[in-house]
Amino acid sequence: MSADRRDFLVRLMQGATLASTGGLGWAYLLRQEARAQPFALRPPGALPGDDFNAACIKCGQCVVACPFDTLKLEPAGGNLPIGMPFFEPRQIPCYLCPTIPCMKACPTGALSPKLKDINDSRMGLAVIDTENCLSWKGLRCEICHRECPIKGKAITLETHPRQISKHAMFIPVVHSNACTGCGICVRACPTTEPAIRILPHALIQGKIGDHYRLGWTREDSITQEFDASGAAPTISAPTNAPSGPVKGKATDYLNEGL
């Protein structure tokens, strides 16, 4: 191997090593920054999680467009990803402008123009701390319900009668199919620390899975042939031949041989 070629290869390796170690540190930093994003409450129409991280150019035009000064840009070194628009509902909630000016100001599509109706936005979901909610304690509060811009849908009241000489409990219940996560309830909550909070859906929402069937919500008979492949169950006529996998109604199956 000639000296020139050896020198070239060594230099190549030196450069590659510098670039990869530097790149590794840099990538770690980026990952740490991006990791903070599950806690952020973002403007209406924001793309989900990583897609938003990729798309947002951190220009702050949504912040300028917001007429209520709700939106802020996270500075470097904060708890949220650098330069991200976010809001803190206890300070200033989103007042759900019907024209969605923040989304219209976004040049990149990080706030998706697919959002046509502000009431379809899902910035987060309200959750109630039932231990500290005044209504749950038996007081007449229900401020969150009254302040909710989609009251009756996003927050409903359940009445629970109590014994004589106590009025019924009026308990606010949040419904995820209507709650936009605007945070107006959080702003309005009269407790010292709000007993209702907005959290990103991923942090609080569970998922029951497809294998649960709520019998009382179904019109067809509960037990049918079970298809492990997960295909939608079909109702088949009961058969009298017990050969092969057992089919038919549970009563038939249990009564077999009697």
Kindly state whether residue 202 participates in binding another protein, applying the rule CB under 8 A. Answer: no
- Whether residue 198 contacts residue 125, with contact meaning beta carbons closer than 8 Å, is answered with yes
Kindly state whether residue 97 participates in binding another protein, applying the rule CB under 8 A. Answer: no
Task: Show Cβ contacts of residue 58 under 8 Å, excluding neighbours closer than 6 positions.
Answer: 73, 82, 83, 84
Kindly state whether residue 88 participates in binding another protein, applying the rule CB under 8 A. Answer: no
- What tokens were used for 155? 């927050």
Which position among 53, 132, 176, 223 is part of the footprint of another protein (CB under 8 A)?
53
Kindly state whether residue 81 participates in binding another protein, applying the rule CB under 8 A. Answer: yes
- Strand-pairing partners, residue 30, are none
Kindly state whether residue 60 participates in binding another protein, applying the rule CB under 8 A. Answer: yes
Kindly state whether residue 78 participates in binding another protein, applying the rule CB under 8 A. Answer: yes
Closer residue to another protein, CB minimum distance, 102 or 155: 102
- Whether residue 159 contacts residue 169, with contact meaning beta carbons closer than 8 Å, is answered with yes
How far apart (Å, rounded) are the C-alpha atoms in residues 162 and 81? 48
Which position among 46, 63, 118, 148 is part of the footprint of another protein (CB under 8 A)?
63
Kindly state whether residue 203 participates in binding another protein, applying the rule CB under 8 A. Answer: no
Task: Show Cβ contacts of residue 90 under 8 Å, excluding neighbours closer than 6 positions.
Answer: 183, 186, 187, 194
Kindly state whether residue 241 participates in binding another protein, applying the rule CB under 8 A. Answer: no
Tell me the pairing of strands 196-199 and 125-128: antiparallel
Kindly state whether residue 26 participates in binding another protein, applying the rule CB under 8 A. Answer: yes
Choices 30-38, 123-131, 167-175, 203-211 (CB under 8 A): range interacting with another protein: 30-38
Kindly state whether residue 113 participates in binding another protein, applying the rule CB under 8 A. Answer: yes
Q: Provide the 10 A C-beta neighbour count for residue 177.
A: 7
How far apart (Å, rounded) are the C-alpha atoms in residues 197 and 183? 7
How far apart (Å, rounded) are the C-alpha atoms in residues 167 and 157? 14
Kindly state whether residue 23 participates in binding another protein, applying the rule CB under 8 A. Answer: yes
Choices 106-114, 177-185, 229-237, 245-253 (CB under 8 A): range interacting with another protein: 106-114
Helix (H/G/I), strand (E/B), else coil: 21 = helix
Closer residue to another protein, CB minimum distance, 34 or 127: 34
Q: Which stretches of the chain bind another protein, using CB under 8 A?
A: 15, 18-19, 22-23, 26-27, 29-31, 33-34, 50-51, 53-55, 57-61, 63-65, 72-78, 81-83, 105-110, 113
